[in-house]
């Protein structure tokens, strides 16, 4: 019943609004209400792109045009049913979203905004100057409106339709964003490399966000065209793209209610300033700057600060026990590295490096600073591609495979410098680790299919078990970035374990920890090893390495100089020389020998 509370509340509010609209006979107010619905549809999809995925777009006017002109051409030049034309207009806009996404996602930041801006300008010029098809300034007349019982919708019915569509869109996007895909999109905004390392297909997720924003904007454009029964190039301007972006930023990007607040407030402002277009443009520019620099969380963000404070004062969500098994365990070779080489100009962090890792063992990769240890971890996990050599994991060559594919095969990792999703809760961070192990797809998540709900519950329960394993269950709902450094290290470890790795790569897990925390980490790694997970750790704390490792590999300036059991490596002269150097009296004869 708790899961149905929100949908029932939305239906009730929508019914009340429809009742109020039915009793209103003022066409002017109804027109404003209709435009609120239109702008909400634009903003709701844009919020997925900007607020969740973190992709700035200035080309929404072009997607609005795709829906508007799509429905205009389909209904004015064919006998197609207007309702079917509306659905096809949404499809056309989605395809345009794919077209704009594919080239746009090769760039980031302000360059992405410029590419999308170029798309919007191209569409604006196209509909303005290709008069044979789009009518230019004269536009397209005779667009058939939506009908009900054989009669065109009147103004009141248009508003009711808008309210119903907005309520449905809110519920669908809430289903999508409060689960697997919402977490994935938020992870993109925080750190794409970390996101890929837990199995998120970064490029596909970005395209999905563009398509969602395109479809909602296209529906909005189609509704405007059908309600007016007319569309021309004056509707498609750069001003519209800025206004749609402002709806999200001013209302509150990343909030489910931000687009609604933005649509209501700015539509009313737009109506009040309709007589003074210059004042409109000045105000929108001012509000955009204000939202970006003074109120980055938007109007909704002001209230969220208090809500989040009160929420995180509560108790945690532990008490689910610890997992008995994480990896498959077993014996035999797990990873084979053969002749791996990597160079950056004259710097060679890996020179013909070869080694083998066995199942059920804790391996350590050690060496002085600059030895190439982190580079090796990045090559194993697909962040960096080696220049030569092979890396075989579970018998499969993974060189050239993307990071998310390697994660799905069963290789998890942590980072030398913490890469947590700091604004997300501890629980959400660990649940993100389960992303690649969840099987619910886009459509089942969108409609909250029972299988998707079961997947979400199972993922949550597993994440809580892993948090109990690292003694963080009581902090599950705290923002990950608010925890002390040592606890953040444990969150990242739990997130890596959530990927269900057969091999866990730890890049300096004890960095920044005090002696007591380091000792506790050693005990934790031994417990993890007993859960069926093989470990390869890069570490400088020799006490930790020698106390828990079964096998040690030593690198120096990208060259493997030793490997074997901890005691053997510790006594190896080359290892001692790499860490401690040699006496000047020993160096001098060597220098003379080289000179000779």
Please choose, from the candidates 439, 384, 433, the residue with its C-alpha nearest in 3D space to the C-alpha of residue 412: 433
Answer whether residue 90 shows pLDDT above 90. yes
CA dist 553 → 275, 345, 353, 548 (Å):
75, 25, 10, 14
Going by pLDDT thresholds of 50, 70 and 90, the confidence category of residue 593 is: very low
**Sheet with 362-366, side-by-side order of all strands:** 411-413, 503-507, 534-538, 362-366, 551-556, 559-564
Residue 513 and residue 402 in one domain: yes
419: exposed, middle or buried (Cβ count in 10 Å: 0-12, 13-18, 19+): buried
Q: How many domains, in total, are found in the chain?
A: 2
Q: Give residue-wise pLDDT tens across range 305-317.
A: 655 544 444 445 5
Residue 249, in any domain of the structure: no
Residue 26 lies in a domain: no
| 100 and 212 part of one domain | yes
Residues 196 and 84 in one domain: yes
The pLDDT of residue 102 is 83
Q: What is the pLDDT of residues 128-141, one digit of tens each?
A: 888 888 888 888 99
* Residue 307 burial (C-beta neighbours within 10 Å; 0-12, 13-18, 19+): exposed
State both tokens at 87.
Answer: 């659905």
Residue 9 is assigned to a structural domain of this protein: no
Mean per-residue pLDDT, 14-39: 92
The residue from 205, 237, 269 where one domain ends is 237
473 in a structural domain: no
Q: What is the pLDDT of residue 83?
A: 95
The verdict on residue 15 lying in a domain is no
How many Å apart are CA 380 and CA 593, to the nearest integer?
39
Contact of 45 with 221, CB cutoff 8 Å? no
The percent of residues above 70 in pLDDT, for the chain, comes to 93
**CA Rg value for the chain:** 29
Cα–Cα distances (Å) from 314 to 139, 309, 396, in that order, read 58, 9, 47
| DSSP string covering 156-191 | HHHHHHHHHHHHHHHHHHHHHHTSHHHHHHHHHHH-
Domain annotation covers residue 356:
yes
Alpha-carbon span 568 to 564, nearest angstrom: 6
**Nearest residue to 357 via CA among 327, 315, 386, 387:** 327
Is there a single domain that holds both residue 217 and residue 101? yes
Confidence of residue 264 (pLDDT cuts 50, 70, 90): very high
Q: Find all residues with CB under 8 Å of 332, minimum gap 6, and list them.
A: 358, 359
Q: Is the pLDDT of residue 582 over 70?
A: no
Report residue 275 CA to chain centroid gap.
42
Same domain, 116 and 221: yes
pLDDT per position as a tens digit, 315-372: 455 545 556 678 777 788 999 999 999 998 888 899 999 999 999 899 999 988 888 8
Whether 404 and 515 share a structural domain: yes
Cβ contact 496:504 at 8 Å: yes
157-201: pLDDT as tens digits: 999 999 999 999 999 999 999 999 999 999 998 899 999 999 999
124: in domain? yes
Q: Is 55 left (phi over 0), alpha (psi -120 to 50) or beta?
A: beta
Burial 290-303 (b: 16+ CB within 10 A, else e): ebeeeeebbbbbee
- Is residue 327, in this structure, part of any structural domain at all? no
Per-residue pLDDT, averaged over 262-280, amounts to: 84
Q: Does one domain contain both 56 and 202? A: yes
259/215 Cα distance (integer angstroms): 16
> pTM (2 decimals)?
0.88
Which of 237, 257, 279 terminates a domain? The answer is 237
Question: pLDDT by residue (tens digit) across 429-484?
Answer: 999 999 989 989 899 999 989 999 999 999 999 999 999 999 999 999 999 999 99
Check whether residue 402 and residue 540 sit in a common domain.
yes
Per-residue burial over 103-141, b = 16 or more CB atoms within 10 Å of its CB, e = otherwise: ebbeeeeeebbebbbbbbbebbebbbeeeeebbeeebbe
Distance (Å, whole) CA 43 – CA 557: 53
Range of the domain at 193: 32-237
> What is the pLDDT of the chain when averaged over all its residues?
87
Q: Which of 217, 237, 257 is the last residue of a domain?
A: 237
Looking at residue 524, which CATH number applies to its domain? Answer: 3.40.50.300
């Amino acid at each position: 019943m708790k899961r149905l509370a929100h949908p029932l509340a939305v239906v009730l509010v929508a019914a009340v609004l429809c009742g109020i609209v039915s009793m209103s006979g003022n066409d002017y107010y109804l027109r404003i209400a209709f435009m609120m619905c239109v702008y909400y549809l634009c903003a709701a999809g844009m919020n997925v792109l900007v607020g969740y995925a973190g992709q700035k777009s200035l080309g929404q006017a072009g997607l609005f045009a795709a829906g508007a002109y799509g429905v205009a051409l389909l209904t004015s030049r064919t006998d197609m049913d207007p309702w079917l034309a509306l659905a096809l207009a949404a499809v056309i806009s989605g395809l345009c979203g794919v077209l704009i996404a594919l080239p746009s996602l090769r760039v980031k930041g302000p360059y992405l905004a410029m590419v999308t801006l170029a798309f919007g300008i191209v569409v604006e010029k196209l509909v303005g100057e290709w008069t044979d098809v789009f009518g230019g300034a004269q536009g397209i007349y005779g667009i058939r409106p939506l009908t009900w019982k054989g009669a065109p919708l009147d103004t009141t019915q248009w508003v009711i339709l808008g309210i119903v569509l907005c309520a449905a869109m809110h519920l669908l996007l809430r289903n999508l964003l409060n689960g697997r895909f919402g977490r994935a999109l938020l992870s993109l905004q925080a750190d794409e490399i970390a996101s890929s390392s837990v199995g998120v297909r970064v490029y596909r997720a970005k395209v999905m966000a563009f398509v969602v924003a395109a479809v909602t904007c296209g529906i909005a454009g189609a509704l405007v065209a059908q309600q007016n029964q007319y569309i021309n190039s004056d509707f498609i301007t750069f001003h519209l793209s800025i206004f749609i972006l402002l709806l999200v930023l001013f209302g509150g990007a990343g909030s489910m209610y931000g687009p609604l607040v933005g649509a209501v407030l700015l539509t009313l402002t737009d109506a009040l300033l309709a007589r003074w277009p210059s004042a409109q443009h000045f105000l929108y520019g001012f509000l955009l700057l204000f939202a970006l620099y003074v109120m980055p969380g938007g109007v909704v963000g002001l209230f969220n600060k208090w809500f989040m404070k009160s929420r995180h004062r509560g108790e945690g969500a532990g008490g689910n026990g610890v997992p008995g098994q994480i990896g498959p365990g077993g014996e035999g070779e797990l990873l084979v590295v053969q002749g791996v080489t990597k160079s950056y100009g004259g710097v060679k962090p890996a020179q013909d490096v070869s080694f083998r890792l066995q199942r059920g063992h804790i391996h350590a990769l050690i060496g002085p600073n600059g030895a190439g240890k982190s580079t090796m971890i990045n090559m194993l996990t697909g962040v960096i591609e080696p220049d030569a050599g092979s890396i075989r994991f579970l018998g499969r060559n993974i060189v050239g495979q993307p990071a998310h594919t390697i994660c799905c095969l069963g290789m998890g990792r942590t980072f030398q410098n913490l890469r947590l999703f700091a604004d997300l809760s501890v629980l959400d961070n660990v649940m993100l680790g389960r992303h690649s192990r969840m099987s619910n797809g886009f459509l089942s998540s969108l409609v909250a299919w029972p299988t998707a709900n079961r997947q979400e519950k199972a993922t949550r329960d597993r994440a809580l078990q892993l948090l109990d394993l690292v003694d963080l269950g009581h902090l599950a709902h705290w923002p990950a970035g608010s925890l002390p450094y040592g606890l953040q290290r444990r969150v990242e470890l739990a997130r890596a374990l959530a990927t269900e790795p057969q091999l866990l790569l730890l890049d300096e897990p004890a960095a920044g920890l005090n002696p007591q925390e380091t000792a506790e980490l050693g005990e934790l790694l031994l417990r993890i090893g007993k859960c069926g997970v093989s470990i390869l750790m890069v570490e400088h704390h020799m006490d930790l390495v020698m106390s828990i490792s079964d096998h040690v590999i030593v690198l120096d300036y990208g060259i493997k100089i030793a490997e074997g059991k901890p005691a053997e490596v510790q006594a190896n002269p080359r290892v001692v020389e790499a860490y401690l150097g040699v006496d000047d009296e020993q160096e001098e004869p060597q220098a003379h020998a080289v000179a000779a």
